[in-house]
Amino acid sequence: MNIFRFLADMSHVLSILLLLQKIRSSNSVAGISFKTQALYALVFVTRYLDVFIYFVSIYNTAMKILFLGTSFYTLHVMYKKRDSGTIAANTIDTFRVEFLLIGSLALALIFPSERIYSVTNILWTFSLWLESVAILPQLFMLQRTGQAESLTVHYIFALGLYRGFYVLNWIYRYYFDNWFSLTSFVTGIIQTALYSDFFWVYYQKVLKGKKFELP
């Protein structure tokens, strides 16, 4: 564990808390992509299968259970409140996730991490590719609506920050731990890059106290 990884995990936990707080405080799931949340649940299921295979640390196991639990809890809450959005979710959450699923599966089958062709390893690789693009339905939705509640915006920012910190962690581990995972690094760069436009708007608008509106 190093400081970057710890900050990454904390940003990830913060993003989940912000999302749940947004739903609670506005009593609405308007502006939140159900598809993105469903993809994250699938990411955690396919990645954390190893929780049954080996033990890393109490921290590791607890966080895996936390991420799995909160992702399904979020889906449950969103489903319950599905009619509370001012705009019906199905008219705006229209990103075609089939392409993300098929693309991620194809990449995992062609380039499994460490070239180990086991079911668990292919699913692990799939989860990394899928996570790298899982935010797209959410960003697509944001672009269509053009504006968002501040908690939603903070949620997306914390989520983007999380993988950005992981990239720093991987650079650190390459030099100081003699450890490197090409799959993690490449997907992490893609994931962080997808947020780059969003980060810029966040900096320009939110940090300067203006309402979040896309130009």
Partner 1 sequence: EPPLPKKDEL
Q: Which residues bind partner 1 (CB under 8 A)?
A: 5, 9, 12, 50, 53-54, 56-57, 60, 63-64, 67, 113-114, 116-121, 124, 166, 169, 184
CB nearer partner 1, residue 69 or residue 146: 69
- Give 156's Cβ-side CA count (13 Å radius): 32
Q: 201, 212 in Cβ contact below 8 A?
A: yes
Name the one residue in this structure whose structure tokens are 């903070």. 154
Name the one residue in this structure whose structure tokens are 């940090």. 207
CB nearer partner 1, residue 84 or residue 120: 120
State which amino acid sits at residue 185. F
In this structure, what token pair is assigned to residue 175?
């030099």
CB nearer partner 1, residue 20 or residue 68: 68
Helix (H) or strand (E) holding 100, with range, is helix 97-110
Q: 75, 41 in Cβ contact below 8 A?
A: yes
In this structure, what token pair is assigned to residue 153?
């915006």
CB nearer partner 1, residue 19 or residue 30: 19
Residues in the chain, how many?
A: 215
Residue of 135, 125, 97, 145 lying closest to 185 (CA atoms): 125
CB of 128 to partner 1, least distance (A): 10
CB of 66 to partner 1, least distance (A): 9
CB of 126 to partner 1, least distance (A): 14
For residue 147, the cross-strand partners are 213
CB of 45 to partner 1, least distance (A): 14
CB of 190 to partner 1, least distance (A): 17
CB nearer partner 1, residue 87 or residue 171: 171
